[in-house]
């Protein structure tokens, strides 16, 4: 489906022209019409499917066309992390380039007092669209810095991640400030019971749209080491010593473990850095810049970087801990094998992880090859699937695990240095195909 086959207005289509976006992704094709019909919506779609554009484009089009109050917060978009809030804001700047009367403010925690004052000034000047993390938005609400009583659109992006991070009470407090007629749009990569419960509270007769979870790219060579927990660091040490690994993201389940692994790798003289929620926004920005620019070789991180972070040259992903949700595994290893490159994903699986790893293999619809432990480490445990022993200590074969939508972020180039250049562009007639 072409964007010209939707009811998006000409200003939005002009921005999409400049950004060279022509064809809708499946989630956009299904969501844009439903949102423009003013229906509440529950979308199940993972990162990389184009969901940001799926809700931003129709909302911006309606705000530009409609008679919405200039002094109200007309749209509130909630995101679980600062990084995602920043990316949504970047997408907003691109898509709204030709919209003269739709402004936005991004507000998120982890900044100094100067940033907070800037947010207050932005809110007082009037922002049609607010992109925020829950904690920071609640702080502004408590201080009386904004009024949500006339808000027309409420978007929850990555709702499952927000609930995992303990934001359920904040979300419900924020939702209580919204008018009953507010259109609510919720996106989640997974559909656990708590998301169903939240959806039943917030959504009114919603359209439900589910895009099947993508399997990992064929170019990712997946493998697993079946080991005891104390053997994990020794495996890492041997991997890095033997292979001179660079452009690696290593995921751990908790921020304390991230800190411990980072220190252990530094003692091995590995050029690494840590990314977790205890860092300030400036520290997180600096760490991500250093990793993207190649100043550090290995980024040790929590799932804060498993979704929505665009880095195209990751050579390897290491799961120090097996994620509890199989779809988180897909998100994690999806950081590699991007932009037509090959990639490798290694998972360290201890006895406590067997059940969760078997769920991952069930989602993948195949067995992840088990690599024998390196010499000198000793034997690992006997791998079992859902409590049933496999009859072997570890696999003796080294099978290869065979197994972009970039909407937003780029500022469109202006033609002839001003907006009038769009009038010189040859445009297709939206009605010509009808």
Residue-wise pLDDT tens digits, 102-121: 988 999 876 666 778 878 88
pLDDT at position 98 over 50: yes
Is 51 within a domain?
yes
Contacts of 120 (CB under 8 A, 6+ apart): 140, 145
Considering the domain architecture, whether residues 260 and 284 belong to the same structural domain is answered as: yes
pLDDT at position 67 over 50: yes
What CATH number corresponds to the domain at position 40? Answer: 3.40.50.300
Residues of the chain above pLDDT 90, percent: 51
Phi, psi of 283 (to 5 degrees): -70, -40
Contacts of 242 (CB under 8 A, 6+ apart): none
Considering the domain architecture, whether residues 255 and 332 belong to the same structural domain is answered as: yes
Is 307 within a domain?
yes
Which carries the bigger pLDDT value, residue 74 or residue 419? 74
Q: How confident is the model at residue 409 (pLDDT cuts 50, 70, 90)?
A: very low
pLDDT at position 417 over 70: no
Asked if residue 60 lies in contact with residue 99, where contact means CB atoms within 8 angstroms, the answer is yes
Is 432 within a domain?
no
Asked if residue 320 lies in contact with residue 264, where contact means CB atoms within 8 angstroms, the answer is no
pLDDT at position 387 over 70: no
Residue-wise pLDDT tens digits, 343-379: 899 999 999 999 999 999 988 889 999 999 998 899 9
Contacts of 30 (CB under 8 A, 6+ apart): 54, 209, 211
Does residue 201 come out as left (phi exceeding 0), alpha (psi in the -120 to 50 range) or beta? alpha
Is 394 within a domain?
no
pLDDT at position 398 over 80: no
Is 434 within a domain?
no
Asked if residue 221 lies in contact with residue 344, where contact means CB atoms within 8 angstroms, the answer is yes
Considering the domain architecture, whether residues 119 and 156 belong to the same structural domain is answered as: yes
Q: What is the pLDDT of residue 306?
A: 67
pLDDT at position 296 over 90: yes
Q: What is the pLDDT of residue 424?
A: 40
In eight-state DSSP terms, residue 353 is G
Considering the domain architecture, whether residues 259 and 356 belong to the same structural domain is answered as: yes
Considering the domain architecture, whether residues 80 and 205 belong to the same structural domain is answered as: yes
Is 433 within a domain?
no
Which carries the bigger pLDDT value, residue 420 or residue 42? 42
Distance CA 349, CA 229 (A): 8
Residue-wise pLDDT tens digits, 139-169: 999 999 889 999 999 999 999 888 878 899 9
Considering the domain architecture, whether residues 186 and 255 belong to the same structural domain is answered as: no
Considering the domain architecture, whether residues 206 and 226 belong to the same structural domain is answered as: no
Considering the domain architecture, whether residues 184 and 139 belong to the same structural domain is answered as: yes
Crossing angle between the packed helical segments 134-142 and 168-175, to the nearest 10 degrees:
50
Is 103 within a domain?
yes
Q: What is the pLDDT of residue 310?
A: 64
Asked if residue 302 lies in contact with residue 128, where contact means CB atoms within 8 angstroms, the answer is no
Range of the domain at 281: 220-389
How many domains is the chain partitioned into structurally?
2
Is 97 within a domain?
yes
Instruction: Quote the longest CA-to-CA distance of the chain.
Output: 71
Top-confidence range, 3-17, 308-322, 332-346: 3-17
Q: What is the pLDDT of residue 110?
A: 65
Which carries the bigger pLDDT value, residue 311 or residue 363? 363
pLDDT at position 91 over 50: yes
Considering the domain architecture, whether residues 108 and 133 belong to the same structural domain is answered as: yes
Considering the domain architecture, whether residues 277 and 363 belong to the same structural domain is answered as: yes
Q: What is the pLDDT of residue 11?
A: 96
Asked if residue 45 lies in contact with residue 210, where contact means CB atoms within 8 angstroms, the answer is yes
Considering the domain architecture, whether residues 176 and 325 belong to the same structural domain is answered as: no
Q: What is the pLDDT of residue 309?
A: 62
- Containing 44, the helix (H) or strand (E) segment is strand 41-44
Does the pTM of the predicted model rise above 0.85?
no
Q: How confident is the model at residue 297 (pLDDT cuts 50, 70, 90)?
A: very high
Distance CA 121, CA 171 (A): 24
Distance CA 252, CA 238 (A): 18
Residue-wise pLDDT tens digits, 252-291: 988 999 999 999 999 999 999 999 878 877 788 889 889 9
Q: What is the pLDDT of residue 253?
A: 87
């Amino acid at each position: 489906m072409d964007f010209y086959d939707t009811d998006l207005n000409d200003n939005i289509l002009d921005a999409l022209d400049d950004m060279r976006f022509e064809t809708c992704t499946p989630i956009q094709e299904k969501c844009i019409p439903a949102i423009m019909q003013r229906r509440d919506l529950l979308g199940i779609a993972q990162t990389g499917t184009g969901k940001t554009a799926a809700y931003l484009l129709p909302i911006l089009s309606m705000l530009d066309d409609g008679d919405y109050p200039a002094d109200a917060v007309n749209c509130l978009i909630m995101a679980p992390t600062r990084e995602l809030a920043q990316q949504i804001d970047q997408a907003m700047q691109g898509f709204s380039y030709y919209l003269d009367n739709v402004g936005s403010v991004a507000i998120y925690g982890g900044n100094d007092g100067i940033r907070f004052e800037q947010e207050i000034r932005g809110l007082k000047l009037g922002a049609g669209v607010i992109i925020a993390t829950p904690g920071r938005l609640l702080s502004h609400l408590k201080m009386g810095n904004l009024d949500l009583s006339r808000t027309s659109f409420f978007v929850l992006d990555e709702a499952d991640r927000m609930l995992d991070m303990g934001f359920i009470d904040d979300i419900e407090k924020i939702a209580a400030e919204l008018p009953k007629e507010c259109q609510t749009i919720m996106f989640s990569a997974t559909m656990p019971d708590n998301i169903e419960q939240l959806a039943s509270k917030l959504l009114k007769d919603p359209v439900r749209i589910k895009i099947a979870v993508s399997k990992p790219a064929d170019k990712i060579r997946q493998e697993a080491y079946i080991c005891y927990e104390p053997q994990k660091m020794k495996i890492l040490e041997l991997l890095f010593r033997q292979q001179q690994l660079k452009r690696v993201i290593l995921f751990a389940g908790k921020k304390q473990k991230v800190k411990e692994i980072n220190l252990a790798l530094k003692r091995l003289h590995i050029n690494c850095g840590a990314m977790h929620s205890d860092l300030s926004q400036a520290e997180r920005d600096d760490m991500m810049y250093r990793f993207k620019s190649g100043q550090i070789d290995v980024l040790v991180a929590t799932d804060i970087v498993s979704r929505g972070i665009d880095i195209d040259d990751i050579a390897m992903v290491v799961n120090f801990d097996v994620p509890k949700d199989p779809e988180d595994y897909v998100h994690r290893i999806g950081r590699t094998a991007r932009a037509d490159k090959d990639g490798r994903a290694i998972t360290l699986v201890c006895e406590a992880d067997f059940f969760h790893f078997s769920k991952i293999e069930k989602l993948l619809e195949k067995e992840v090859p088990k690599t024998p432990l390196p010499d000198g480490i000793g034997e690992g445990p006997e791998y079992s699937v859902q409590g049933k022993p496999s009859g072997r200590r570890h696999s003796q074969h080294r099978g290869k695990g065979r197994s972009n939508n970039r909407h937003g972020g780029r500022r469109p180039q202006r033609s002839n240095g001003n907006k009038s250049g769009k009038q010189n562009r040859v445009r297709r007639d939206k009605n010509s195909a009808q």
